Chain A
């Protein structure tokens, strides 16, 4: 528990060094978002010439710690307990805050998954520091070692740069999909320390009754996403979108108004208030390309815009632009794909 008082900054911030990444995991394996944050953390640690620490908590963390090491971490701390196989807010936040107090990192970044955000918000209170949510960009000023945490503004086409100048560690979360995952280097040198953890009864009041793994499509891992916007004009448009997505072995995405209308569930919404995706191929059909949509797909490798308006903002954010009515363009595209690739192409 954290005593109710002001967030008093530490006297001497120069003793806070290095970057720490919390590694999100599920079923004893690291999430993609965890590795993305390792990449983002590595860049910052290199810029200030400091160490990259990682923390992973779970039932058995050794293999996950190794994986973080080959992806760019210098010192990995694993915390093992049979009671920690699933995320639990209280013990996880106690452990991470404990490691922060021990290692005193200058920066602490946490994947912005649901559990990651839950954890980061609690740890920020425990260590009495500042936390910036949903950063699209994380950078550090080399001389001051100040974290430059940039996040989208509400409704506008701007980003805010948020700083935490006096408190340490400077904390931030980024949504899964924000950064590319770094390439592993099997020859990298790193240290792993796994600690057996004993928990007290008052840390274990949360009882996980059941977990139902969902089989609905999670679009964030898809290599191909075909998204439809208001340009579809009617719910049936989604059938055409799905046909193209299926042909490419991909998933269906939508702009927010389509989810607002209830034509498809929220999980398919791409953008600031939806999912952040970075597929190899993103096809936007009948989407105007407002900043709140762009921010959710700007990490895509190749972007195609299908729009009847040559001036649409989406076209400026696309590698390929097909001007025309999507009801005419998509069937033609499907025909060409079938012709060129054989009946069943799949994402590379």
Chain B
């Protein structure tokens, strides 16, 4: 039986993304477009690499309005076999609890699943809650913050990149793997796959299709609520201007205030 892989994606705004002009190293802040969340590109690639070596089927999935469809097709053009769009007005305003719940219910509705891939976090609200939340609802093992992963005989071996170092974990399937940004180089779409994707189309599910009551999700069933916007906390700093001819005095001041030490060890 083929391995069943699921890749979770989110479409995020690219509007204020910093784009560095490679010629004169200036910033270009224009272009308000949507993109596939960067880590999800790496999550898809991680799944495709498993498919390169094993008999596997990849389903890409997102909970989003229909504007996400071209991005699902793009994932199919890179090698995913099918795409599911969970689209329902009732999910609007969901925080990470109902988002994880809805995605987990849709995965369960797919049937047998071996590995679910998600991004470590999104580039917009970047909570990183959804992967672990889905693992919890699915009672799956979890390897978060992974830079690479392999599959062998019912087990996933993943390299987790942590603050203190790199940890290699081995977990049985079903497993959720969250993939870190820039951890691999995503492959490009091929024309043939693109045409196939367009022919195949996208599977669209409503909440009813996946068996979730509509009052379990959305803004009203989200524990967290964004209450207000506040300005960034202002820091009071004295901003003393140091002339180039005052450098010695400046360094002495740093030494006198204990910020840097005289001599050295």
The interface of chain A, by Cβ under 8 A from chain B, is 1-2, 4-7, 9, 26, 31, 86, 89-90, 93, 113-115, 117-118, 120-122, 124-126, 128-134, 136-137, 150, 152-167, 176, 205-214, 218, 220, 224, 230, 233-234, 248-249, 256-257, 260-261, 266, 273, 280-281, 291, 294-295, 298, 301-303, 315-324, 328-329, 332-333, 335-337, 339-348
Q: With A230-B27, A318-B237, A320-B250 as known contacts, state yes or no: A218 contacts B163, CB within 8 Å.
A: yes
- Which residues of chain A have C-beta atoms less than 8 A from B213's C-beta? 6
8 new A-B pairs (CB below 8 Å) besides A130-B222, A163-B227, A257-B20? Answer: A5-B101, A6-B213, A158-B232, A211-B167, A214-B164, A302-B259, A322-B242, A341-B263
- Closest Cβ of chain A: how far from B135's Cβ, in Å? 7
* Chain A residues with CB below 8 A from B235, complex form: 294, 298, 317
Task: Say whether, besides A90-B141, A214-B166, A345 and B229 are in contact (CB < 8 Å).
Answer: no
List, in ascending order, chain B residues with CB within 8 A of A167's CB.
Answer: 223
A133/B126 contact (C-beta < 8 A), A324-B244, A328-B244 known: yes
In the complex, which residues of chain B have a beta carbon less than 8 angstroms from the beta carbon of A5?
Answer: 101, 216
Q: Which one, B126, B136, B165, B231, contacts A212 given CB within 8 A? A: B165
Instruction: Evaluate contact between A137 and B233: CB separation under 8 angstroms.
Output: yes
Contacts of A337 in B (CB 8 A): 251, 260
Residues of chain A within 8 A (CB-CB) of B237 are 303, 316-319
CB-CB < 8 A to B170: which residues of A?
Answer: 206-207, 209
The CA-CA distance from A329 to B246 in the complex, in Å, is 11
Is A164's CB under 8 angstroms from B224's CB? yes
| Residue of A155, A156, A213 touching B165 (CB-CB under 8 A) | A213
Closest residue of chain A to B12, judged by CB? A154
Decide yes or no: A336 and B162 within 8 Å by CB, A160-B226, A167-B223, A303-B237 being known contacts.
no
A294, chain B: closest CB distance, angstroms: 7
Report, nearest first, the 4 A-B pairs whose CB atoms are least far apart: A130-B223, A344-B264, A1-B139, A155-B16
- CB contacts (< 8 Å) of A249 on chain B: these are 264
Count CB-based A-B contacts (< 8 Å): 304
Report A187 CB to chain B, min CB distance, Å: 27
Residue B252, interface by CB 8 Å: yes
1/0 contact string of B26-37 vs chain A (CB within 8 Å): 110000000000
Q: Which chain B residue lies CB-closest to A167?
A: B223
B248 touching A89 by the CB < 8 A rule? no
- Among A166, A320, A336, the residue within 8 A (CB) of B223 is A166
Quick check: A153 and B182 within 8 Å, CB to CB? no
